[in-house]
Amino acid sequence: MTGIKIIATGACAPKKVVTNDDLAKIVDTSDEWISQRTGMSERHYVSENENHTWLAEMAAKQALERAGIPKEEVGVVIVCTVSSDYFSPSTACLIQGRLGLSNDIIALDVGAGCSGFIFGMETIRSLMMARKAKYGLLIGAEVLSKKMDMTDRSTCVLFGDGAAAAVVQLSDSMYESVIGVDGDEEMIHIKSPDGLIYMDGQGTYKFAVATVPKVVERVVKQAGLTYDDIDHFIFHQANLRIIESIAKKVKQPMDKFVVNIQKYGNTSAASVGLALEEAMAKGEVKPGEKILMCAFGAGRTWGAVVLEM
């Protein structure tokens, strides 16, 4: 299978940091209640001079600068999001214009909830193969602070804003993927045109701890590997208890799991990318290592990718 090689990553988070104590001033909650149930300590919210497109642009610029490639050789741009500034045009089209990329390009947004970055990786891989593109730009970006009901303590404490980007190219190195959808309308949703986030927390937790181990097992088996062969597990940062539960089920130590939920909260389609970028920036993920990325989200979507860095 023709796969994906990640050349470089970038990230951008809003300057405004909102702590658990900050939220306790406006909703009936506490730092202890949030941290014990989710592992979250703080998250970032966009301010007046920041928006979704800006976050995506800054993350993309950083990734391109680190990659050191000619901008005109980017042939596909995919932005994974459920909270863009416009219904139309797509954020991907705006990024093409702001970065001055070639206009002989495919640029589109992918909406798969918190599974977005994984769905985006499969989408960009397929389009790059079809277009024979040399490089692709994959971005996950969300401003969920604008989609929250601040009177609902079960959801408003969970979500944050941020963006992550990856410059990728096609590669013959190891790559396997598993993608799935169950068509659920009620577990998590943001109803148009101006709806707020609704989430059945218990239902989402049960779905995650039941589904993710099966998806992980399947993708590892497809790759002809064992769990011990995986150097790093990079999961959607939805809840620390979910990650810990999955680690126990696959019998792997937590130090193999990249965790930054305490800093960003749940950033939906940006979540996996932000965790990947941070691990790469710290030098924790090295060339030649095998990583497994996995996410689950609204629509009851799920996806996992195993690849070699």
Q: What does pLDDT average to over the chain?
A: 96
Taken in order 74, 78, 83, 85, is the CA torsion positive or negative? positive
Residue 215 to residue 249: CA distance in whole angstroms: 12
Q: Is the pLDDT of residue 1 over 80?
A: no
Q: How do beta strands 74-80 and 135-143 pair?
A: parallel
| Range 228-240 average pLDDT | 98
- Check: CB of residue 111 under 8 Å from CB of residue 50: no
Topology match between the domains 3-171 and 175-308: yes
| Range 213-242 average pLDDT | 97
Domain ranges of the chain: 3-171, 175-308
Residue 113's pLDDT is what?
Answer: 95
| Range 117-137 average pLDDT | 97
Q: In terms of Cα–Cα distance, which of 292, 294, 286, 296 is closest to 307?
A: 292
Question: Which residues form the catalytic set?
Answer: 114, 236, 266
The CATH number of the domain covering residues in 3-171 = 3.40.47.10
pLDDT band at 48, cuts 50/70/90? confident
Q: In terms of Cα–Cα distance, which of 58, 32, 55 is closest to 44?
A: 55
Provide, rounded to the nearest whole percent, the portion of the chain with pLDDT above 70. 100
Q: What is the pLDDT of residues 177-211, one digit of tens each?
A: 999 999 998 899 999 878 999 999 999 999 999 99
Q: Is the pLDDT of residue 258 over 90?
A: yes
The residue to which tokens 């993710």 are assigned = 212
**Residue 122: enclosing H or E segment and its boundaries?**
helix 116-131
Q: Is the pLDDT of residue 84 over 80?
A: yes
| Range 225-250 average pLDDT | 97
In a 10 Å sphere around its CB, with 0-12 CB exposed, 13-18 middle and 19+ buried, how is residue 14 labelled? buried
Residue 200 to residue 186: CA distance in whole angstroms: 8
Q: Where are the beta strands (DSSP E) in 117-187?
A: 135-143, 161-171, 175-181
Query: How far are the Cα atoms of 18, 251, 270 from residue 139, in angstroms, in the given order?
Result: 24, 31, 8
Residue 153's pLDDT is what?
Answer: 87
Both tokens assigned to 62: 């950083």
* Calculated CA dihedral for residues 201, 263, 165, 51, nearest 10 degrees: 80
Q: May I ask the CATH architecture of the domain 175-308?
A: 3-Layer(aba) Sandwich (3.40)
This model's pTM is above 0.85: yes
pLDDT band at 213, cuts 50/70/90? very high
Rg (CA), the chain: 18
